Amino acid sequence: MSEKRQTEEHYLEWKVKVFGLLKEHMQYEEHDPVYEPSIPVEQDSSLEPIDLHQGDPYVQDRSRKADRLVSPVHTLPVKATRELLGIVKDRNCVHMEVDLQEYPGLKYKTGDHLGALLSSYLEICSAVSTETIAALIQFAPNESAKTHLTRLSSDKAAYDELSSAAYLNFGRLLRHAAPEEGAWNGLPLAFIVEALPAMQPRYYSISSSSVTHARQIAITAIVSDKRVAGDAVVPGLCTNHLLGAQRAHLAESSHETRINAHVRKSTFKLPAVQPHPTIMVAAGTGIAPFRAFIQERARLSKMGRPIGRTILLFGCRNEYEDYLYKDELREWEKIPELQLSVITAFSRPSAGDKIYVQQRVQEKADEVCDLVYEKEELLHLRIGCHGKRCLEGARARVASPTRLE
């Protein structure tokens, strides 16, 4: 269960308790809500789609700190793209490069993020909260649907059971509660607009260096499809959007492929003093910012700048499926001035025992300690793991008080 989902559930549990206390000690009464739309919806059949203002993909609020860290949204042309996975039929990993030439004011620094935005405003595919389900009860088309929605909104176990069996978005919820055709015709459009959350950007670590590619940004995205009960697949929304853009670009049509995007500043950076040694720990697409870091250090080393020892510990399934940027890394290892060592951990090797990147971190404990304590070097450690288990495992190994356990 995601941390966001846990936070929401804790809030709703707290809310139920507070309402109970208010009714018990202050004699408050709880009434069924009467829906009053805050958004007026007017139908106008005289307009054609071309006459409608399509709006902006993302409205920024400069009073919010988070929005002050991002650039304006631009529609960026896809410059190049390729598939990164090897002999894999049912998985995709997109490498995509977008061009910044049209927007001189749009700049980035190595380690920043690219926010990809979809072309719609509302998250129609997002999971439905129990609070939204409770608000929907008043529009239930029959007693059966009302009973079902009431149970889902008040019984956490029932909600969790249905959510795990079928990814519960708004459309699936309506179909599950009242599958009869036309059952929900009376549901106000204004309620749907208000109930669905606003579409949010999806952020990807930039996998190119601003030193080597100042007017071009690369991202690395694994297409994340989720399997639910009954072998049903819930497609990852933005990653499949990027996959579609990749296929459109590779189709070599005359139509230019573009994506809506903006740049977000990040504190995930290279050490300011390049001679300091750097250890990078990554699994899967967590390698993205490290590709940018190594790309930059390789360029600086060729310019005669002193570069400290660079160690990349990278975990993936095996060498043939998802060893991302393998050829590039091998070429960079050949640059003597770069002092790059790439150490792999294969969890599903074609031969031999499986090993995880956390174990590789423990194996390198002696070398890390030598750099820090014996040579009195200032060591920079960067961890790029999307999975919580990998991230916590790597941190635990690094923080271990002994070299080898």
Residue 111 lies in a domain: yes
The pLDDT score that the predictor gives to residue 381 is 59
CATH of the domain at 369: 3.40.50.80
368 and 286 within one domain: yes
DSSP 374-400: IS----EEEEE-SSHHHHHHHHHHHH-
Mean pLDDT of 19-29: 85
72 and 95 within one domain: yes
287 and 219 within one domain: no
**pLDDT at 27 exceeding the cut of 70:** yes
Contact between 297 and 398 (Cβ < 8 Å): no
Structure tokens at 328: 């590039």
391: number of Cβ within 10 Å: 17
Of the three residues 145, 179, 197, the one that is the final residue of a domain is 197
Tell me whether residue 106 is exposed, middle or buried, using C-beta atoms within 10 angstroms of its C-beta: 0 to 12, 13 to 18, 19 or more: middle
CA angle 68, 73, 79 (to 5 degrees): 130
pTM over 0.85: no
Residue 128 lies in a domain: yes
Residue 287 lies in a domain: yes
The pLDDT score that the predictor gives to residue 119 is 79
Minimum mean pLDDT range among 192-201, 223-232, 287-296 = 223-232
Residue 331 lies in a domain: yes
103 and 212 within one domain: yes
CATH of the domain at 136: 1.20.990.10
36 confidence band (pLDDT: 50, 70, 90): confident
Strands 340-346 and 310-316: parallel
Helical packing angle, 170-177 and 143-154, nearest 10°: 130
Mean pLDDT of 20-45: 83
190 and 207 within one domain: no
405 confidence band (pLDDT: 50, 70, 90): very low
Residue 42 lies in a domain: no
The pLDDT score that the predictor gives to residue 378 is 52
The pLDDT score that the predictor gives to residue 287 is 95
171 and 97 within one domain: no
Taking the chain, what is the end-to-end CA distance rounded to the nearest angstrom? 31
Residue 327 lies in a domain: yes
Strands 74-83 and 202-205: unpaired
Structure tokens at 157: 């176990």
Mean pLDDT of 335-346: 94
Summary mean pLDDT of the chain: 85
205 and 188 within one domain: no
CATH of the domain at 221: 2.40.30.10
297 confidence band (pLDDT: 50, 70, 90): very high
The pLDDT score that the predictor gives to residue 203 is 95
205 and 190 within one domain: no
Q: How many folded domains does the chain comprise?
A: 4
As a dihedral over the C-alpha atoms of residue 302, residue 307, residue 309, residue 310, rounded to 10 degrees, the angle is -60
Contact between 206 and 217 (Cβ < 8 Å): yes
Residue 12 lies in a domain: yes
The pLDDT score that the predictor gives to residue 398 is 52
233 φ/ψ angles, rounded to the nearest 5 degrees: -120, 130
106 and 222 within one domain: yes
Q: What is the C-alpha separation between 203 and 68, in angstroms, rounded?
A: 15
Mean pLDDT of 64-76: 85
Residue environment code for 304-314, b if the CB has 16+ CB neighbours within 10 A, otherwise e: eeebbbbbbbb
Helices (H) and strands (E) counted in the chain, each on its own, are 13, 12
Contact between 398 and 381 (Cβ < 8 Å): yes
Structural domain range at position 13: 1-31
380 and 246 within one domain: no
Cα→Cα distances 2→7, 187, 205, 272, Å:
9, 30, 20, 35
Contact between 144 and 178 (Cβ < 8 Å): yes
- Choose between 84 and 381: higher pLDDT: 84
Structure tokens at 64: 């919010």
283 and 260 within one domain: no
Cα→Cα distances 4→129, 132, 168, 264, 270, Å:
11, 16, 16, 21, 30
Residue 6 lies in a domain: yes
Minimum mean pLDDT range among 21-30, 190-199, 304-313, 332-341 = 21-30
> What are the tens digits of pLDDT across the range 147-197?
999 999 888 889 988 887 778 899 999 999 999 999 999 999 999 999 999
Of the three residues 163, 178, 197, the one that is the final residue of a domain is 197
367 and 292 within one domain: yes
Contact between 130 and 153 (Cβ < 8 Å): yes
Beta carbons within 8 Å of 32's beta carbon, 6+ residues apart: 138
**pLDDT at 57 exceeding the cut of 50:** yes
